[in-house]
Amino acid sequence: MTNSSVGQKSQLREHHHTLRRSLQEKEWSEISSKIISRLTSTEEFEAAGFVHTYVSIAKNREVNTFDFIQTCFEAGKQVIVPRMAQNGKLTHHKITSTKLLSKNNWGVWEPSAENQVDLPDHLLVVVPMVSADFNRNRLGYGKGYYDRFLTGINASKIGLCFNFNLSWKPLPTEPFDIKMDKVISDQFII
């Protein structure tokens, strides 16, 4: 990765974080609901027996996934959420309630170390992002957890993004960056 690419991504992250943090609680909740409604009406959601999803961090104004997780339970889907491991990778854990989650040292909601699972077939992965472009490239948080996780798995990869975080210009990418199958915003399904 070139230094200019790292700097460019870092500047874009800060810009998009600032935009997200400006959302008031009510607006954040309403826009998140629109995005989740679009997600639950996709054929990928309908077909998935298993849903792997991030758990949103309200203070970072990520697209809210708590109600989505409840919708998954109500639809009879098995829910898997990630846990950050020391080696820079994610482990994957089945949950049956959001009450089983607690915040780690970084403020990320995670399951306990129990109920770790191997990833099944027919998996839908809901991916967090800071920004995306119209080529379905994702700008993540810069630590590479999801790029490492998504490499080589057979799953539908859908990223959730607020419309104001979509980039009309192509985002800078590196060979290890994983493209989404779909990006869903409050106005577009790309």
- Identify how many contiguous H helices and E strands the chain contains and give both numbers: 5, 11
Q: What are the tens digits of pLDDT across the range 143-161? A: 889 999 999 798 999 999 9
In Å, what is the CA distance from 50 to each residue of 55, 101, 115, 166? 15, 18, 14, 27
Q: How many domains does the chain have?
A: 1
Q: What is the pLDDT of residue 1?
A: 45
Higher pLDDT, 62 or 106: 62
- With a cut of 90, say whether residue 108 has pLDDT above it: no
Q: Where residue 114 falls among pLDDT bands split at 50, 70, 90?
A: confident
Q: What three-state secondary structure class fits 47?
A: helix
| 99, part of any domain | yes
Residue 75 lies inside a defined structural domain of this protein: yes
In a domain, 162, yes or no: yes
Q: Are 180 and 127 in contact (CB under 8 A)?
A: yes
pLDDT given at position 86: 81
> Per mean pLDDT, which range of 4-18, 29-43, 59-73, 89-103 is the poorest?
4-18
Share of the chain above pLDDT 70, in %: 98
Q: 189 lies in a domain?
A: no
Token pair, residue 76, equals: 């009879």
pLDDT, one tens digit per residue, over 3-54 is 567 789 999 999 998 999 999 999 999 999 999 999 999 999 999 999 999 9
In the predicted model, what is the mean pLDDT of the chain? 93
Measured between alpha carbons, how far is 73 from 77 in angstroms, rounded to an integer?
A: 6
Q: Is residue 132 part of a domain?
A: yes
Q: What is the β-pairing status of strands 182-184 and 155-160?
A: parallel
Separation between Cα atoms, residue 149 and residue 177, nearest integer Å: 11
What is the CATH number for 147? 3.40.50.10420
Quick check: is 140 in a domain? yes
Question: What pLDDT does residue 88 have?
Answer: 84
> How many other C-beta atoms can be found within 10 angstroms of the C-beta atom of residue 172?
19
CA distances from 173 to 5, 70, 103, 135, 138 (A): 8, 34, 30, 11, 8
pTM over 0.75: yes
CA distance from start to end of the chain:
27
Range(s) of the domain holding residue 83: 3-184
| Inside any domain, residue 190 | no
pLDDT of 2 above 60: no
At residue 165, the pLDDT reads: 97
Percent of the chain having pLDDT more than 90? 79
Q: Is residue 51 a part of any domain in this protein?
A: yes
